[in-house]
């Protein structure tokens, strides 16, 4: 007899393959959002803290190579960005709130990556999954361009979501598995310093 997979196992499988929708407890389909904000380790914690977020998964989107490894993406040539995919219950947290958290965790003015991580794979982007997400993302970008904390062009791109490939297991929940190394990396990278400079007490979402 085949073993019955756990709900978490099904969730990971269905999110990664974009199969039939996973359902929240009241039978409402869970939704997905995909954000590129530089190092994917650093984009998991602010979303994990939100009520209504079911799971965050580090991975890759936007490229042309199927099932890439981390080493392939870092070497370049796959076209992928490091992303975090957020699985959430829209009854408990809306996409607008996810966008607010996204902006407060990136430097939208940086064109060559994010913080100390330089290169195409670390550039910031919002991958929209449907027309409503696209509308809200573009509205939020326009608002930031008009009323942002600094002058200058916003470099964050808004792209249609096409595929998502989870990163290797050791990348998932890295900040929980390796808290000391994670905190040192954030400090060395200047991430929190720059976020505070941009967003003040709103930094981090």
CATH number for the domain including 95? 3.30.1060.10
**44: buried, middle or exposed (CB in 10 Å: 19+, 13-18, 0-12)?**
buried
Nearest to 86 by CA among 42, 131, 32, 41: 32
The H-or-E segment that residue 96 falls in is helix 95-103
The rounded radius of gyration (Å) of the Cα atoms in the chain is: 17
Measured distance CA(80)–CA(72) in Å, rounded: 10
Measured distance CA(121)–CA(71) in Å, rounded: 12
Residue 5 lies in a domain: no
State the alpha helices, DSSP H only, in 49-130: 70-75, 95-103
Measured distance CA(110)–CA(48) in Å, rounded: 25
Residue 173 lies in a domain: yes
Q: 44 near 35, Cβ under 8 Å?
A: no
Full domain range(s) for residue 163: 27-202
Marked catalytic residue, from 39, 42, 116, 189: 39
**46: buried, middle or exposed (CB in 10 Å: 19+, 13-18, 0-12)?**
buried
**What pTM was estimated for this model as a whole?**
0.86
- The answer to whether 116 is a known catalytic residue is no
Q: What residues form DSSP beta bridges with 59?
A: 83, 166
Residue 3 lies in a domain: no
Residue-level pLDDT, tens digit, the chain, 205 residues: 333 344 344 344 444 444 344 555 556 789 999 999 999 999 999 999 999 999 999 999 999 999 999 999 999 999 999 999 999 999 999 999 999 999 999 999 999 999 999 999 999 999 999 999 999 999 999 999 999 999 989 999 999 999 999 999 999 999 999 999 999 999 999 999 999 999 998 988 6
Residue 171: predicted pLDDT: 97
Residue 18: predicted pLDDT: 43
Residue 41 lies in a domain: yes
Report how many domains make up the chain: 1
Residue 159 lies in a domain: yes
DSSP 8-state secondary structure symbol assigned to residue 184 = H
Residue 193 lies in a domain: yes
Residue 204: predicted pLDDT: 82
Residue 83 lies in a domain: yes
Residue 64 lies in a domain: yes
Q: 79 near 36, Cβ under 8 Å?
A: no
């Amino acid at each position: 007899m085949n073993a019955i997979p756990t709900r978490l196992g099904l969730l990971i499988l269905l999110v990664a393959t974009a199969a039939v929708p996973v359902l929240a407890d009241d039978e409402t389909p869970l939704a997905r959002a995909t954000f590129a904000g530089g190092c994917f380790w650093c984009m998991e914690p602010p979303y994990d803290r939100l009520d209504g977020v079911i799971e965050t998964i580090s991975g890759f989107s936007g490229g042309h190579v199927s099932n890439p490894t981390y080493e392939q993406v870092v070497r370049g040539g796959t076209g992928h960005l490091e992303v975090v995919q957020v699985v959430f219950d829209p009854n408990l947290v809306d996409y607008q709130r996810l966008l607010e958290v996204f902006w407060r965790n990136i430097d939208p003015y940086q064109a060559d990556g994010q913080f100390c991580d330089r290169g195409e794979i670390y550039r910031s982007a919002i991958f929209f999954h449907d027309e409503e997400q696209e509308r809200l993302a573009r509205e939020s970008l326009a608002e930031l361009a008009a009323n942002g904390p600094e002058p200058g062009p916003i470099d964050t791109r808004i792209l249609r979501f096409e595929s998502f490939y989870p990163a290797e297991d050791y990348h998932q929940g890295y900040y929980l598995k390796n808290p000391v190394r994670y905190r040192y990396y954030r400090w060395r990278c200047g991430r929190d310093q720059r976020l505070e400079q941009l967003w003040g007490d709103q930094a981090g979402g």
